[in-house]
Chain A
Amino acid sequence: MDKQLNDRVEHHTPTPDGASANVPTSDHVRVTTPANVCGMGHRMKRKEDPRFIQGKGRYIDDIKLPHMVYMDIVRSPYAHAKITKIDASAALATPGVLAVITGKDLEKAKLHWMPTLMSDTQMVLPTEKVYYYAQEVCAVVATDRYIAADAVEKVVVEYDPLPPVIDPFEALENKTIVRDDKDKKTNLIWHWEAGNGERETDDVFAKAATVVEQKMHLPRIHVSSIETCGMVANYERARGHLQIYMTSQAPHAHRTVFALVSGLPEQMIQIISPDIGGGFGGKVPIYPGYVCCIVASLTLGRPVKWIEDRSENLQADSFARDYHIHAKLAADKNGKLVGLKVKTVSDCGAADAAANPSKFPAGLYSICTGSYDLKAAHVEVDGVYTTKPPGGVAYRCSFRVTEAVHMIERMTDIMAHQLGQDPADFRFHNFIRPEQFPYKSPTGWQYDSGNYQAALQKAMDMIGYRELRKEQLEKRKRGELMGIGISSFTEVVGAGPSRDYDILGIKMFDSAEIRIHPTGKAIARFGTKSQGQGHETTYAQIIAEELGLPAEHVQVEEGDTDTAPYGLGTYASRSTPTAGAAAAMAARKIRAKAKKIAAYLLEVGEDDLEWNVDRFQVKGSPDRAKTIQDIAFAAYTNHPQGMEAGLEATDYYDPPNLTFPFGSYIAVVDIDKGTGEVKVRRFVAVDDCGNIINPMIVEGQIEGGLTMGLAPALFEEIVYDENGTCLTGTFSDYLLPTAVESVKWELGKTVTPSPHHPIGAKGVGESPTVGSPPAIANAVVDALWHLGVRHVDIPITPQKVWKLLREKGVTGD
Chain B
Amino acid sequence: MKKLITVTVNGEAYTREIEPRMLLVHFIREDLGLTGTHIGCDTSSCGACTVSVNGLATKSCTYFAVQADKGKVETIEGLADGAGLHPLQQGFWEKHGLQCGYCTPGMIMSARDLLRKKPHPTESEIRWGISGNLCRCTGYNKIVEAIQFAADKLDGKGA
Using CB atoms and an 8 Å cutoff, list the residues of chain A in contact with chain B. Answer: 45-46, 48-59, 61-62, 64, 145-146, 223-228, 275-280, 309-311, 531-534, 696-697, 699-701, 703-708, 730-732, 736, 738-740, 742, 744-745
A52 engages B134 (CB within 8 Å): no
Contacts of A705 in B (CB 8 A): 139
A59 engages B102 (CB within 8 Å): yes
A45 engages B93 (CB within 8 Å): yes
Contact with A along B90-130 (1 / 0, CB 8 A): 00111010111111110010000000000000000011101
A532 engages B43 (CB within 8 Å): no
Q: Smallest distance from the beta carbon of B32 to chain A beta carbons, Å?
A: 12
Contacts of B138 in A (CB 8 A): 700, 703-704, 707
With the chains together, A273 CA to B50 CA distance in Å? Answer: 25
- Complex partner residue of B75 from A55, A226, A276, CB under 8 angstroms: A55
Contacts of A740 in B (CB 8 A): 127-128, 131
Task: Decide if B68 is an interface residue (CB 8 Å cutoff).
Answer: no
With the chains together, A45 CA to B45 CA distance in Å? Answer: 30
Using CB atoms and an 8 Å cutoff, list the residues of chain B in contact with chain A. Answer: 19, 21-22, 26, 29-30, 33-43, 45-46, 48, 75-77, 79-80, 85, 89, 92-94, 96, 98-105, 108, 126-128, 130-144
The binding surface of chain B is classed by DSSP as loop
A310 engages B40 (CB within 8 Å): yes
B77 engages A742 (CB within 8 Å): no
B100 engages A226 (CB within 8 Å): yes
With the chains together, A309 CA to B36 CA distance in Å? Answer: 18
B37 engages A57 (CB within 8 Å): no
Contacts of A279 in B (CB 8 A): 100
**With contacts A57-B101, A703-B141 known, is A226 near B134, CB below 8 A?**
yes
Residue of A nearest to B128 (CB): A740
With the chains together, A590 CA to B3 CA distance in Å? Answer: 62
Q: Smallest distance from the beta carbon of A706 to chain B beta carbons, Å?
A: 6
**With contacts A54-B77, A55-B36 known, is A732 near B45, CB below 8 A?**
yes
With the chains together, A740 CA to B41 CA distance in Å? Answer: 19
The binding surface of chain A is classed by DSSP as loop
Q: Smallest distance from the beta carbon of A708 to chain B beta carbons, Å?
A: 7
Contacts of B98 in A (CB 8 A): 49, 52-53, 532
Q: Smallest distance from the beta carbon of A612 to chain B beta carbons, Å?
A: 31
Contacts of A45 in B (CB 8 A): 93-94, 96
Contacts of A696 in B (CB 8 A): 96
With the chains together, A756 CA to B92 CA distance in Å? Answer: 36
- Complex partner residue of B140 from A56, A225, A534, A738, CB under 8 angstroms: A738
A532 engages B140 (CB within 8 Å): no
Contacts of B35 in A (CB 8 A): 55, 58-59, 61-62
**With contacts A731-B134, A745-B139 known, is A277 near B36, CB below 8 A?**
no
Give the 6 A-B residue pairs with the shortest CB-CB distance, closest first.
A55-B36, A277-B102, A52-B101, A532-B100, A707-B139, A731-B45
Q: Could you say which of B29, B30, B40, B76 has the most chain A C-beta atoms within 10 Å of its C-beta?
A: B40
A738 engages B131 (CB within 8 Å): yes
- Complex partner residue of B144 from A46, A57, A739, CB under 8 angstroms: A739
Q: Smallest distance from the beta carbon of A615 to chain B beta carbons, Å?
A: 31
With the chains together, A474 CA to B11 CA distance in Å? Answer: 62
Residue of B nearest to A48 (CB): B101
Q: Smallest distance from the beta carbon of B130 to chain A beta carbons, Å?
A: 5
Q: A227-B100, A738-B132 are in contact. List 11 more A-B contacts (CB 8 A).
A: A52-B98, A52-B101, A53-B108, A55-B35, A227-B38, A227-B40, A310-B42, A696-B96, A700-B96, A739-B144, A740-B128
A46 engages B93 (CB within 8 Å): yes
With the chains together, A224 CA to B100 CA distance in Å? Answer: 13
Q: Smallest distance from the beta carbon of B100 to chain A beta carbons, Å?
A: 3
B96 engages A699 (CB within 8 Å): yes
With the chains together, A49 CA to B96 CA distance in Å? Answer: 9
B80 engages A54 (CB within 8 Å): yes
B93 engages A225 (CB within 8 Å): no
Q: Smallest distance from the beta carbon of B138 to chain A beta carbons, Å?
A: 5
A226 engages B46 (CB within 8 Å): yes
A739 engages B140 (CB within 8 Å): yes
- Complex partner residue of B41 from A64, A146, A731, CB under 8 angstroms: A731
**With contacts A55-B76, A61-B39, A146-B22 known, is A226 near B135, CB below 8 A?**
yes
With the chains together, A740 CA to B141 CA distance in Å? Answer: 10
Contacts of A277 in B (CB 8 A): 38, 40, 100-103
**With contacts A146-B21, A277-B101, A738-B140 known, is A53 near B46, CB below 8 A?**
no
With the chains together, A558 CA to B130 CA distance in Å? Answer: 32
B40 engages A226 (CB within 8 Å): yes
- Complex partner residue of A278 from B45, B75, B93, B102, CB under 8 angstroms: B102
Contacts of B21 in A (CB 8 A): 146
Return 6 A-B CB contacts under 8 Å, by A number: A51-B101, A57-B102, A225-B102, A703-B141, A739-B127, A739-B143
B100 engages A276 (CB within 8 Å): yes
Contacts of A697 in B (CB 8 A): 96
With the chains together, A224 CA to B89 CA distance in Å? Answer: 25
Residue of B nearest to A732 (CB): B45
B142 engages A55 (CB within 8 Å): no
B43 engages A732 (CB within 8 Å): yes
Residue of A nearest to B99 (CB): A532
A742 engages B139 (CB within 8 Å): yes
With the chains together, A51 CA to B92 CA distance in Å? Answer: 12
B93 engages A50 (CB within 8 Å): yes
B134 engages A53 (CB within 8 Å): no
Contacts of A55 in B (CB 8 A): 34-37, 75-77, 105
Contacts of A145 in B (CB 8 A): 26
A226 engages B105 (CB within 8 Å): no
